[in-house]
A = this chain, B = another copy of it.
Amino acid sequence: MTAEHDDTQRPAHAPDEPLTIGEMSRRTGVAPSALHFYEGLGLIASTRTSGNQRRYARHMLRRVSLITVAKRLGIPLSDVQEAFADVPLTETPSHADWQRASRRWKRDLEKRREGIERLERELTGCIGCGCLSMKACGLLNPDDTLGSQGSGPQRLRDAD
């Protein structure tokens, strides 16, 4: 986070000009090779110049940002692909397009958050009572008191 990318030396574009792959990379923090990769998966799209170089419409920045966030949260690209399913790739997506995608995402995120919250609660409870090592605690599934009924670690597994 130093003066390493000083865009004052970079070409200044009109606000609606398409971006080169290098610009996309600098702006999103995603390597050009990864952008190639995402394009191969159909997660993003580009047009080509007469000289076969990629040019990205500005709305691709958002797609890449969303991919990045998803990754950070451990969401696989296949899920991102689904979330983007109805968002047009080649034209600028409409208000409604992104609204739909947003709602879809939000449901997915809610599930994830709930999974984490559940685990947090369980761990918190166990911090309080120390039951992570005690048979009496039903939260994290005691080592084996339920086991012989074939229950297994249900509490930790039924979160789907």
Which positions in A face B, CB cutoff 8 Å? 5-8, 10, 12-13, 15, 26-29, 58-59, 61-62, 65-66, 68-69, 72-75, 92-99, 101-103, 105-106, 109-110, 112-113, 115-117, 119-120, 123-124, 126-127, 130, 132-134, 140-141, 143-145, 147-150, 152-153, 156-157, 159-160
B6, B113, B123, B143: the one contacting A116 at CB < 8 Å is B113
A sample of 28 inter-chain contacts (CB < 8 A) reads A7-B149, A7-B150, A15-B145, A15-B148, A27-B147, A27-B153, A28-B153, A29-B152, A29-B153, A59-B143, A61-B141, A62-B140, A62-B141, A68-B153, A69-B156, A72-B159, A73-B115, A73-B119, A92-B133, A93-B133, A95-B130, A95-B132, A96-B130, A99-B130, A102-B123, A102-B124, A103-B127, A105-B119
| Cross-chain contact A112 with B123 (CB below 8 angstroms) | no
| Cross-chain contact A126 with B113 (CB below 8 angstroms) | no
| Cross-chain contact B124 with A106 (CB below 8 angstroms) | yes
